[in-house]
């Protein structure tokens, strides 16, 4: 059976509306999924929402609903995520909700399995819980009753609970991470996890809450007085959504996941709890957990609970989806933090999109109209000795490998920068070859070469940007008037120079990115 490329995002909490941080993970994952599809691979891109737990129960009550009405609350909010994904052109293959029956059944099945195996036991829990982070902290970890992550006061807990034996697998996990360099990426995160595991003893994970404290969760199959801890429930989505255990044929074609894309805030859960859960179940590890950085706003992580979020719908209304997608993907390397400010969106728009990309398309099509009645010229028999023609072909020749190398490392900004190298070389080519002079001097063959080379560069650029800014790419394709459906054009098509068909009549429209600030 052919292995399908399986990529996931975190399941976002539905306690509030989606924000830029969520959009960021989503856009990056979408770009990766589209890129892998363009390589001809079958891809399964799964995303969804995390709908149980204390935080959501609290948000539901605060919204004015009664305790017990959480399902109608999550039914409403999860749609806002789906709506935003439509607006952002996110083309996922499956949307999982942790309130889906198949997922809930999988969680119960897994708990029964681990319980039978002896990896679950009951004992008194005395420690802390942080509702905004949905995290248990021991008295040792949070000495002063303050959450080590979000620095808010913790809730003190003294209750009987079920525990999962994390500590039993600590040695195995250290060895696994050491042997598998690609398991946690980037390497700074891998080192962080290894440091944590080597210098601290893992504490067994509390995986339940008594129903008397929390009603909104999946019932523990072997003890009806408890519900499952939200993280233990949510992590299971990566296998339940892939068919485990109800559709093992599907599961075998998907698992192991190729990459779980997450933010660095939830690294511990994905790089410690999750592999140990899988190991205890006898399931192979995902190939890679990639933790990207944070968007910070005025020096602090943008988050719902801190209330410093920028509404993605506002940015979409103001700048459009591709400006938003391009900004997030190009502004910072995937893996490091970035400061968000709206002025940077405007300057990226005006420089990269309006000045470089938009201008290249517009100038080229204007010249094709003026010199060749809008038709892509024939390649002349004479040699191409246009000034700068060799540079354009060289830049185009290097493009596929540069994109591949960057995308192997999920370096979206690097992949885009390599496309912009070609864009800039092509713009310089216009200056160097001076088509207006060639026209005046009636050097028709050379003029044909220039316009043909520019159209050919634009063909490659359009295909290359399609995973990142798909609607711009569609609009460019339409203006270039190529006949094939862009979605079915493979990445392979940029590995060959000279595929643009002469004679096609281009279809120039108004500029794609009019400048926001005038020069
Ligand atoms: O943690 N910058 O959900 P969540 C960049 N339900 N990315 C950010 C971000 C920021 N400022 N803020 C959020 C949960 N993100 C759990 C996950 S998975 C089984 C359960 C992104 O709604 C980033 O991907 O808090 C981060 O890891 C995720 O949203 C957290 O979303």
**Predicted confidence (pLDDT) per residue in 448-490, tens digit:** 999 999 999 999 999 999 999 999 999 999 999 999 999 999 9
Closest Cα to atom 16, ligand 1: which residue?
12
**Residue 376, strand partner residues:** none
- Per-residue confidence (pLDDT) for residue 309, from 0 to 100: 76
Closest Cα to atom 24, ligand 1: which residue?
263
Distant-in-sequence contacts of 303-310, Cβ < 8 A, 24+ apart: 303/19, 303/21, 304/13, 304/15, 304/16, 304/17, 304/19, 305/132, 305/150, 309/19, 309/20, 309/21, 310/19, 310/20, 310/340, 310/342
* 263: Cβ contacts below 8 Å, ≥ 6 apart: 10, 21, 25, 291, 292, 293, 294
Q: Name the token pair of 166.
A: 């994390």
Cα(307) to centroid of ligand 1, in Å?
A: 15
* 46: Cβ contacts below 8 Å, ≥ 6 apart: 6, 7, 8, 9, 92, 93, 94, 95, 96, 237, 238, 241, 242
Establish how many alpha carbons lie within 13 A of residue 104's alpha carbon, considering only the half-sphere containing its beta carbon. Answer: 13
Question: Do the Cβ atoms of 179 and 172 come closer than 8 Å?
Answer: no
Angle between helices 470-480 and 359-372 (to 10 degrees): 10
Helix (H, G, I), strand (E, B) or coil at 158: strand
How far apart (Å, rounded) are the C-alpha atoms in residues 467 and 456?
Answer: 19
Closest Cα to atom 18, ligand 1: which residue?
10
Helix (H, G, I), strand (E, B) or coil at 345: helix
- Per-residue confidence (pLDDT) for residue 289, from 0 to 100: 98
Question: Do the Cβ atoms of 205 and 310 come closer than 8 Å?
Answer: no
Task: Report the topology of domain 341-494.
Answer: Isoleucyl-tRNA Synthetase; Domain 1 (1.10.730)
Closest Cα to atom 2, ligand 1: which residue?
294
Cα(23) to centroid of ligand 1, in Å?
A: 10
- Closest by CA to 28, choosing from 93, 97, 98, 92, is 92
| Residues with pLDDT less than 50, the chain | none
- Per-residue confidence (pLDDT) for residue 304, from 0 to 100: 67
How far apart (Å, rounded) are the C-alpha atoms in residues 106 and 104?
Answer: 5
Question: Do the Cβ atoms of 96 and 240 come closer than 8 Å?
Answer: yes
Q: Max alpha carbon distance in the chain (Å)?
A: 90
Q: In the sheet that 205-206 helps form, which strands lie side by side, from edge to edge?
A: 135-137, 120-130, 155-164, 205-206
Q: Is the full-model pTM beyond 0.75? A: yes
- Per-residue confidence (pLDDT) for residue 310, from 0 to 100: 82
Residues in contact with ligand 1 by the CB-under-6-Å rule are 10-13, 21-22, 24-25, 50, 234-235, 237, 262-263, 265-266, 294-295, 301-303
Closest Cα to atom 19, ligand 1: which residue?
235
Question: Do the Cβ atoms of 205 and 164 come closer than 8 Å?
Answer: yes
So where are the chain's domains?
Answer: 341-494
In what helix (H) or strand (E) does residue 61 lie, and over which residues does it extend? helix 54-62
By DSSP bridging, strand 295-297 and strand 120-130 are unpaired
**Predicted confidence (pLDDT) per residue in 253-295, tens digit:** 999 999 999 999 999 999 999 999 999 999 999 999 999 999 9
């Amino acid at each position: 059976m052919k292995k399908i490329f399986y990529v996931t995002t975190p399941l976002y909490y539905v306690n509030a509306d989606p924000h830029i941080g969520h959009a960021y993970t989503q856009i990056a994952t979408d770009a990766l999924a589209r890129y892998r599809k363009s390589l001809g691979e079958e891809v399964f891109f799964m995303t969804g929402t995390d709908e149980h737990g204390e935080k959501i129960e609290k948000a539901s009550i605060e919204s004015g609903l009664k305790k017990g009405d959480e399902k109608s609350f999550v039914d409403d909010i999860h749609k806002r995520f789906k709506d935003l994904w439509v607006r952002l052109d996110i083309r996922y293959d499956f949307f999982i909700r942790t309130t889906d029956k198949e997922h809930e059944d999988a969680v119960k099945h897994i708990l029964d399995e681990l319980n039978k195996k002896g990896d679950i036991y009951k004992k008194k829990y005395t420690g802390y819980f942080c509702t905004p982070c949905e995290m248990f902290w021991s008295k040792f970890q949070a000495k002063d009753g303050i959450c080590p992550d979000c620095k808010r006061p913790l809730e003190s807990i003294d209750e009987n609970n079920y525990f999962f034996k994390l500590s039993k697998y600590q040695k195995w996990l250290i060895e696994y991470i050491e042997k598998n360099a690609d398991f946690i990426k980037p390497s700074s995160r891998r080192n962080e996890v290894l440091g944590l595991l080597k210098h601290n003893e893992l504490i067994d994970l509390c995986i339940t809450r008594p129903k008397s404290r929390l009603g909104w969760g999946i019932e523990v199959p072997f003890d009806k007085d408890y519900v499952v801890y939200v993280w233990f429930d949510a992590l299971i989505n990566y296998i339940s959504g892939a068919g485990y255990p109800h559709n093992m044929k599907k599961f075998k074609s998907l698992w192991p996941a190729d990459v779980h894309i997450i933010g660095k805030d939830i690294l511990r859960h994905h790089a410690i709890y999750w592999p140990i859960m899988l190991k205890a179940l006898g399931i192979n590890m995902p190939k890679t957990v990639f933790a990207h950085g944070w968007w910070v706003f005025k020096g602090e992580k943008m988050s719902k609970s801190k209330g410093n979020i920028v509404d993605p719908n506002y940015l979409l209304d103001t700048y459009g989806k591709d400006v938003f997608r391009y900004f997030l993907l190009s502004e910072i390397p995937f893996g490091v933090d970035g400061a968000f400010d709206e002025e940077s969106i405007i300057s990226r728009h005006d420089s990269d999109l309006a000045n470089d990309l938009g201008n290249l398309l517009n100038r080229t099509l204007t010249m094709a109209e003026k010199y060749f009645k809008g038709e892509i010229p024939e390649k002349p028999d004479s040699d191409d000795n246009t000034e700068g023609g060799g540079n354009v072909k060289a830049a185009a020749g290097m493009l596929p490998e540069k994109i591949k190398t960057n995308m192997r490392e999920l370096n979206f900004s690097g992949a885009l920068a390599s496309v912009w190298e070609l864009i800039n070389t092509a713009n310089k080519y216009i200056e160097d070859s001076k088509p207006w002079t060639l026209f005046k001097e009636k050097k028709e063959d050379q003029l044909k070469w220039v316009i043909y080379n520019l159209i050919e560069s634009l063909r490659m650029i359009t295909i290359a940007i399609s995973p990142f800014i798909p609607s711009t790419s569609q609009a460019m394709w339409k203006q270039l008037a190529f006949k094939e459906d862009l979605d079915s054009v493979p990445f392979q098509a940029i590995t060959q120079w000279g595929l643009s068909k002469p004679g096609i009549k281009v279809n120039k429209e108004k500029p794609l990115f009019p400048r926001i600030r005038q020069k």
